[in-house]
Structure 1
């Protein structure tokens, strides 16, 4: 009997920065012959559908029309769909920690039963879930599935979390007299300063819900059969090699469609403004793109300093100012009269298609919160960065951008920023002469990304190796089942 295609259930973490690469991963695996069932939360689905009226009930309907077998389901994250998750972050995280897994488990059971029935398609062979979930290994084990952990951030961030025990032992984390000297004992990491670690590893209070999630998630991931990572081996060579000595770790990034194109699957949580006409009227490389991502908040004080710094710099800019950037209750946090003050050289929008904007020739720089997707997209589009990290992995991502690859400038030197420093650094990045070193460096790193995804490139080969190892593990599992059945019958 001919063996059926593998069937993967994919569960992204319900934040836009995690949903986007998970959607691209689902499409990529389907193109390689997988059947994929994608599970979104009802809240994320509703927000996407609201932002894109044609999206309908099934975000992957257009993908299926192209011949790919990607199925779509939604589940509750444990909170009412209309609940303000941005304003009530801790309650949202508590629900993901304690309630969400029950809904996922119920849905996985339904998918497994449907796939096992006659005409239900190939049986489910694996669960692919975001590393930040605390339950995947247990759910996978219950339904006899392989567990593939999907890490959407750089390998450096993964290894710091993975080796939290070493940070504790060496008093760089979770102790009363925390050390402030460089950390030089993490496998594959030459040295890193504590202020370049993720914000959660810099905190003195480690009892928050996010800490509890991280601690449990990085225990759970040790039971994963495979870890796939949205990074490139050449960009983090020593770190990736060290991780591969400890676990089945595959770098398969950057995971997004080549050419900075739009996809047939809607992933944006807000309606997208079209900036093309405005950009077409601006000189080549003259526009600074400003965005702090889809979730993190900026204080009103910092926002005002950035606003005034942009004004003082004299540059043209597009600023993505999502409605809840400061708070859901403060929908227009800009200084009074600011929009009019900069109206002749700015476009301020609630949201846009980021890759489309970054790929426009008028864009010359990106003031970013240093989300990993934003960094990869900016490099792919040959745009140097001005780094303003806000929380979590963004501080570590900044270290890679500024110190390791030298493709950007650090805007956040300390706790406070000033309009004068913002203006000065914007001009340093955007100036033809002083910014040339960053443009040259980003061009080199861009080549590494492009080469990685080419046939025989490192990420392409890594994905092929993952598929090969995955198929071997499935064969071993089927072989064990046959042997067990044979032994049972013989007995």
Structure 2
């Protein structure tokens, strides 16, 4: 390839589940000789650097830069409404400024903006500056297809023009796609009305500007979502993505990983451990937290449980938790964050209790790990439908009339899941299909090659 390597600016939405796949993609682009500038909001850049601690070299060719996040001083980064309003209202202007500054500084001109589909609000500013746009959907193809179909869904009377449901029951966009409830769409978020409005605007924006991107990719693979890819053949699956085969490269974690759990796993029998993790956003109230804890204890199985410092909404008795940890000390390990990709690839892991974020879902799939589904919000309900109803590689939990999943239910579901040979076999088959797709000659492998050829032409 003659001349300097093309300069690509990579732009994720500012949340853990979006930063990880875009960071994985960036490592792969660097491996193919491209220059990558990874753009995140200021608070997220700080989290990434703090989590890397002394290992800044690990970013290996990825230049990390930041833009303001558009939030006012004192606004909470857990207030999704405020985050969305900041992204929509102010981040496009900051990205435009960054592209101009990069060029003025004598840096290589930015040739491509490789942007998270959720950052579609930035596509036009890039195009105005002569920068080509590639869109990457870090969630399922079904999720992207649903956003692209919003105008049609409004026309068909499922929603009003603000995204509020007008019809009940479920609808299915295509055979083999998860049935959806109008009340469980990605923009149905709790909190102030402005937040919900911003979430809908964001999803609707994807439908309006996707044609500004020259290529639209998705972190999925053909066999996992044949219905969605048939409905929208222009979406190219390039997943399941991972940074490198050895799972050594950092994938943009927001918290330092406790790698001691890998040694602990080494000491457990093959296929014995229940791995429990609910991503970066889920919050449990103290009662639900206790029921989950005691349910894990009741199974009598070894378990590895990720409990973020902000995982419970307060009010959990420290004395109770200390006592619980003492009781399970020989059998359970609790960490605040862990290298999940390495954990799910570990032979000791039997199953995964998950919030069903798409990254977690794909990581479970590519390792053939059956999943107990416990979705929290957004696209996680559709992902649960894939796991439980379409792939049939997991089971969902049943909430009681009071909305709580009891310890007895936790124990019963884990026993059913770990004893179900059919689920285990289907999980293995889906794993094999996932691995085949990213290996040489596989559909995702070929699509990724096509993408790199486009960036370097």
TM-score (norm 1): 0.83
Identify the residue that residue 198 of structure 2 maps to in structure 1: 209
1:420 aligns with 2:416: no
Report the number of matched residues.
Answer: 450
Residue pair 2:12, 2:115 contacting (<8 A) in 1 also: yes
Q: Tell me the alpha carbon deviations over residues 210-232 of structure 1, each in whole angstroms, 9 at most, x when there is no partner.
A: 22322234323232221111010
* Structure-2 residue corresponding to 1:479: none
User: Which deviates more from structure 2 when the two are superposed, residues 227-236 or residues 323-332?
Assistant: 323-332
> Are residues 1:223 and 2:215 paired?
no
Query: Shift of the alpha carbon at 1:470?
Result: 5.1
Query: Structure 1 pair 159/188, CA: closer, same or farther in 2 (3 Å)?
Result: farther
Are the counterparts in 1 of residues 398 and 409 from structure 2 also a CA contact under 8 Å? no
Q: Which residue of 2 aligns with 1:482?
A: none
Q: 1:468 to 1:156 in 2, by over 3 A?
A: same
Q: Which residue of structure 1 aligns with residue 64 of structure 2?
A: 72
Equivalent in the alignment of 2:289: 303
Kindly provide the CA deviation profile for residues 253-302 of structure 1, in whole angstroms up to 9, marking residues without a partner as x: 11103546221x36221121121232223222111000000123233332
- Cα deviation, residue 187, structure 1: 5.2
Deviations 1:73-122 (A, max 9, x none): 22221347996412x333222222212222222111112334xx4xx34x
Map of 1:132 onto structure 2: 118
Alignment partner of 2:253 out of 240, 257, 268? 268
Q: Distance between the aligned counterparts of 1:386 and 1:443, measured in 2?
A: 16
1:325 aligned to 2:317?
no
Query: Structure with the greater relative contact order (CA < 8 A, sep ≥ 6): 1 or 2?
Result: 2
2:50 & 2:364 partners in 1: Cα distance? 27
Secondary structure of the corresponding residue to residue 187 of structure 2 = helix
Normalized against structure 2, the TM-score is what?
0.89
Displacement of 1:398: 0.8
Shift of 1:126: 1.1
Distance verdict in 2 for CA 1:397–1:411, change over 3 Å: same
Shift in Å at residue 312 of structure 1?
A: 2.0
How do 1:299-378 and structure 2 match up within 5 A? 299-327=285-313, 337-378=323-364
Describe the SS at the equivalent of 1:126.
strand
1:91 partnered with 2:82:
yes
Cα 1:195–1:365, aligned 2, differ >3 Å: closer, same or farther? farther
Q: Work out the CA distance in 1 between the residues paired with 2:165 and 2:350.
A: 44
CA deviations on 1:148-197 (whole Å, 9 max, x unpaired) are: 1110011011111110122223333348773334424x356567242795
User: Which sections of structure 2, spanning at least 5 residues, go unmatched?
Assistant: none
Secondary structure of the residue aligned to 2:274 is strand
Contact 1:260 1:381 in 2 (8 A): no
Identify the range of structure 1 (321-330 vs 91-100) with the bigger mean alpha-carbon deviation. Answer: 321-330
1:398 aligns with 2:387: no
Aligned twin of 2:138? 152
SS of residue paired to 1:228? strand
**CA drift at 1:359:** 1.8
- 1:354-389 Cα shifts (integer Å, max 9, x gaps): 112222221101000001111111122221110000
Aligned residue number for residue 488 of structure 1: none
Of 155, 180, 196, the match for 1:169: 155
For residue 233 of structure 1, what is the aligned residue in structure 2?
A: 222
Change in 2 beyond 3 A, CA 1:218/1:389? same
User: What RMSD over aligned residues (CA atoms) do the two structures have, in Å?
Assistant: 2.9
Deviation at residue 235 of structure 1 after TM alignment? 1.3
Counterpart Cα distance in 2 of 1:305 and 1:75: 41
- Residue equivalent to 2:437: 452
- Three-state SS of the structure 2 residue aligned to 1:373 is helix
Could you say if the C-alpha distance between residues 170 and 3 of structure 1 is closer, same or farther in structure 2, counting changes exceeding 3 Å? same
Match of 1:440 in 2: 425
1:429 equivalenced with 2:414 (yes/no): no
Check conservation: 2:170, 2:182, Cα contact below 8 A. Answer: no
Q: Secondary structure at the match of 1:109?
A: helix
Task: Say which of 105, 112, 120 aligns to 2:96.
Answer: 105
Q: What are the superposed Cα offsets for residues 312-362 of structure 1, whole Å, 9 maximum, x if unpaired?
A: 222211110001112489796975732223223111111111112222221
Distance in 2 (CA, whole Å) between partners of 1:34 and 1:287 is 40
Q: Tell me the alpha carbon deviations over residues 28-51 of structure 1, each in whole angstroms, 9 at most, x when there is no partner.
A: 122223222211222112112223
Change (3 A) 1:172 1:416: farther
CA distance in 2 between counterparts of 1:107 and 1:393 reads: 31
